C-alpha cells in the first residue's frame, strides 16, 4: 500500500498526463462530466502502474463517440449496448462508459441496462468498495461514496451496498472476491465472507465459461493460495471445483497420511517459486496440474492391513477427473490435454528415486512427457513437501541427477525427437508390405528398440526388423 500522499501524487500525475488531460478537456468543453474510475484509481494507492484506463461519464454513448473519435487512432463500440465506447490513443487503451444504474431480474446475472444520472450512483453499483473510487476530471477531485479508501488502507474487501443485494444481483462478484484476495493480497470483510457462504449456490447461474475465466485469473495471481482458501472456506469450491475440498481427507490415529488438501496447496506454492526461479512466466497449465495432481486420491484411498493408507492408481484416475472437470469449465483442448498428461505422469519420478533408472527408462520418461517435460520437472520437484529434511534432500539430489542424465542423453541422442531408426517408407520397402496395421506394429517395435538400446546403425536396424518380422510370421519357429 502506497502512502496516501504518494498515491494522490500518482493520481494527479496520471490526470495531468497529456492524453488524459486532452480527453478531460474535450469532455468538459462539450458539457459532459468525466471521471477516472475503478482499477486505475485503486492501483494508484497500491503503487501499481495503470496500462488501460476506465472512465465514467454523464455523456450518452453517441456523445462519447462524438468526443473521442477525433482524438483516437482507433475506436470501437462493441459495448455500446452497455454504454461503453473503447478507443486507442497512442499507446493507451481507454474505455468510457455512460453512468449506469442497472436492474437485475434475480434469475440471471445479465442486467437490464439502465443509464444513471450521477457518478456516485454509478460507483455504488460496482463490485467492491476498493473498485468504487473515482477521480473527477479535470478538477482532480477524489470521489469515494462507500469508504473504499479506508478499505484500501485496511486491505479489506467489502461491497458498496449490502453484500446480499450485490451478490444477488451478480453472483460472479463472489468469485471476483476470491480472485482479488489472490491478486491484491486483501482479505474479505466479515459480512462479505458470510454472505458468500450463505449464497454460494447462487454461483450456479453463472456460465461455466465465466467461472473458468475467473479461476484462470485467480490461479495466475501472485498468491493463488489465499484465493483458493476463500473458495473452499466459503463453499464456492463445492459448486465449481468440488475436487479441491474433497482433498480434505479424514486423518485418524489408525490411518496416518498427509493432509492432501494442504499438501496440494503447498505443492502449488513450491511450483510457483520454481516457475520463477527457472525463468518462466506464470503458467496456467503448470498451476492447474499442480493443484489437481492428487484429486484421484479420495476415490482410491484404502486402509491396508496394519493401518497404512494407500492411493493406488490415483494418478490415472486423477487425469480422468481433471479432464472431466476442465471440460465442464470450458477450458481449451490443448490445456486439458497438457494438464491430464502431467497429472498422469506426476508419480513417475518417485520410481527413479527409489531404484534408479536405466537409460531406457530415462528415454521413456522423456518420450512420455513430450513437450510437457519442463513442466513435469517442476511438478515433480514441487510434489516433495515432506518435512523430513533428509528425505527431501535425497529426492532433490535424485531429481538433479535425473535432469543431468536427460541432458546428457539429449545431447547424444536428440531425445526430444526420438524416432525409430527406420521410417514407415523404409519399413515397407524392407518388408515388401503395403500401408496398413503391420507397418504400425513394425514402427512401434523399432521405437521400443530405440528406447531400450539407443540409436542403431541402419544395417543393424534392418537386421533387427527382419528378425522381428520372421518371428512374427512364424511364431512357432
- pLDDT score for 418: 67
Same domain, 409 and 433: no
Q: Has residue 258 got a pLDDT over 70? A: no
Inside any domain, residue 4: yes
Question: In the chain, pLDDT over 90 holds for what percent of residues?
Answer: 60
Inside any domain, residue 367: yes
Inside any domain, residue 41: yes
Residue ending a domain, choose from 101, 123, 154: 154
Same domain, 309 and 386: yes
- Domain range for 440 is 424-473
Q: What is the pLDDT of residues 317-365, one digit of tens each?
A: 999 999 999 999 999 999 999 999 999 999 988 877 666 788 888 888 8
Same domain, 311 and 381: yes
**458 pLDDT band (50/70/90 cuts)?**
confident
Q: Has residue 254 got a pLDDT over 50? A: no
Cell of 75: 475506436
Q: Please, what is the average pLDDT of the chain?
A: 89
Same domain, 146 and 9: yes
CA 448, CA 431: separation in Å to the nearest integer?
Answer: 18
- pLDDT score for 349: 87
Residue ending a domain, choose from 97, 125, 154: 154
Alpha-carbon torsion (329, 330, 332, 334), positive or negative = positive
Q: Which residue has the higher pLDDT, 314 or 51?
A: 314
User: Total domain count for the chain?
Assistant: 3
Inside any domain, residue 209: no
- pLDDT score for 356: 72
Same domain, 20 and 143: yes
Inside any domain, residue 193: no
Same domain, 286 and 404: yes
- pLDDT score for 477: 47
Cell of 428: 515397407
Residue 114 · residue 100 · CB < 8 Å? yes
Inside any domain, residue 168: no
**420 pLDDT band (50/70/90 cuts)?**
confident
Residue 243 · residue 321 · CB < 8 Å? yes
Inside any domain, residue 184: no
CA 400, CA 396: separation in Å to the nearest integer?
Answer: 6
- pLDDT score for 325: 98
CA 382, CA 394: separation in Å to the nearest integer?
Answer: 14
Q: What is the pLDDT of residues 128-178, one digit of tens each?
A: 999 999 999 999 999 999 999 999 999 999 999 999 999 999 999 999 999
Cβ neighbors of 46 (< 8 A, separation 6 or more) are 1, 2, 152, 184
- pLDDT score for 352: 72
Same domain, 357 and 441: no
- pLDDT score for 255: 47
Same domain, 413 and 440: no
Same domain, 406 and 428: no
Q: What pairing do the DSSP bridges indicate for beta strands 187-188 and 156-157?
A: parallel
Residue 165 · residue 41 · CB < 8 Å? no
Backbone φ/ψ region at 356: left (φ over 0), alpha (ψ -120 to 50), beta: left
Same domain, 350 and 468: no
Inside any domain, residue 179: no
- pLDDT score for 253: 44
Cβ neighbors of 96 (< 8 A, separation 6 or more) are 34, 54, 55, 56, 57, 59, 64, 68, 84, 85, 86, 87
Same domain, 1 and 104: yes
Cβ neighbors of 59 (< 8 A, separation 6 or more) are 27, 30, 32, 33, 34, 67, 96, 98
CATH no. for residue 121?
A: 3.30.460.10
Same domain, 451 and 380: no
Range 24-32 average pLDDT: 96
Residue ending a domain, choose from 154, 177, 197: 154
- pLDDT score for 257: 52
Amino acid at each position: 500500500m502506497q502512502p496516501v500522499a504518494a498515491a494522490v501524487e500518482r493520481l494527479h500525475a496520471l490526470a495531468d498526463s497529456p492524453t488524459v488531460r486532452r480527453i478531460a478537456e474535450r469532455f468538459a468543453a462539450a458539457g459532459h462530466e468525466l471521471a477516472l474510475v475503478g482499477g486505475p484509481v485503486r492501483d494508484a494507492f497500491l503503487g501499481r502502474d495503470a496500462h488501460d484506463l476506465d472512465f465514467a461519464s454523464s455523456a450518452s454513448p453517441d456523445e462519447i463517440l462524438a468526443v473521442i473519435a477525433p482524438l483516437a487512432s482507433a475506436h470501437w463500440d462493441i459495448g455500446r449496448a452497455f454504454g461503453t465506447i473503447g478507443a486507442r490513443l497512442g499507446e493507451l487503451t481507454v474505455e468510457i462508459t455512460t453512468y449506469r444504474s442497472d436492474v437485475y431480474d434475480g434469475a440471471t446475472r445479465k442486467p437490464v441496462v439502465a443509464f444513471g444520472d450521477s457518478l456516485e450512483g454509478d460507483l455504488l453499483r460496482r463490485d467492491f468498495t476498493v473498485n468504487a473510487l473515482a477521480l473527477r476530471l479535470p478538477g482532480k477531485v477524489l470521489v469515494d461514496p462507500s469508504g473504499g479508501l479506508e478499505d484500501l488502507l485496511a486491505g479489506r474487501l467489502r461491497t458498496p451496498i449490502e453484500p446480499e443485494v450485490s451478490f444477488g444481483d451478480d453472483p460472479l462478484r463472489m468469485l471476483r472476491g476470491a480472485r482479488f484476495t489472490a491478486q491484491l493480497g486483501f482479505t474479505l470483510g466479515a459480512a462479505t465472507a458470510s454472505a458468500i457462504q450463505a449464497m454460494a449456490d447462487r454461483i450456479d447461474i453463472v456460465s461455466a465459461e465465466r467461472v473458468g475465466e475467473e479461476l484462470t485469473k485467480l490461479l495466475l495471481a501472485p498468491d493463488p493460495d489465499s484465493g483458493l482458501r476463500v473458495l473452499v472456506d466459503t463453499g464456492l469450491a463445492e459448486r465449481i471445483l468440488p475436487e479441491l475440498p474433497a482433498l480434505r481427507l479424514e486423518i485418524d490415529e489408525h490411518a496416518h497420511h498427509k493432509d492432501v488438501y494442504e499438501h496440494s496447496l503447498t505443492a502449488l506454492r513450491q511450483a510457483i517459486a520454481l516457475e520463477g526461479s527457472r525463468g518462466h512466466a506464470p503458467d496456467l497449465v503448470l498451476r492447474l496440474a499442480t493443484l489437481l495432481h492428487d484429486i484421484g486420491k479420495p476415490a482410491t484411498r484404502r486402509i491396508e492391513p496394519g493401518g497404512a493408507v494407500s492411493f493406488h492408481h490415483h494418478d490415472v484416475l486423477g487425469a480422468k477427473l481433471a479432464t472431466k472437470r476442465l471440460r465442464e469449465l470450458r477450458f481449451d483442448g490443448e490445456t486439458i490435454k497438457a494438464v491430464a498428461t502431467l497429472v498422469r505422469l506426476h508419480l513417475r519420478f518417485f520410481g527413479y528415486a527409489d531404484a534408479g533408472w536405466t537409460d531406457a527408462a530415462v528415454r521413456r520418461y522423456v518420450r512420455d512427457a513430450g513437450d510437457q517435460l519442463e513442466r513435469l520437472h517442476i511438478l515433480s520437484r514441487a510434489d516433495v513437501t515432506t518435512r523430513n529434511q533428509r528425505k527431501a534432500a535425497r529426492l532433490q539430489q535424485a531429481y538433479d541427477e535425473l535432469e543431468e542424465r536427460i541432458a546428457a542423453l539429449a545431447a547424444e541422442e536428440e531425445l526430444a525427437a526420438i524416432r525409430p531408426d527406420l521410417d514407415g517408407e523404409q519399413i515397407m520397402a524392407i518388408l515388401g508390405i503395403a500401408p496398413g496395421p503391420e507397418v504400425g506394429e513394425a514402427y512401434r517395435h523399432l521405437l521400443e528398440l530405440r528406447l531400450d538400446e539407443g540409436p542403431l546403425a541402419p544395417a543393424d536396424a534392418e537386421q533387427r526388423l527382419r528378425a522381428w518380422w520372421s518371428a512374427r510370421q512364424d511364431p512357432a519357429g
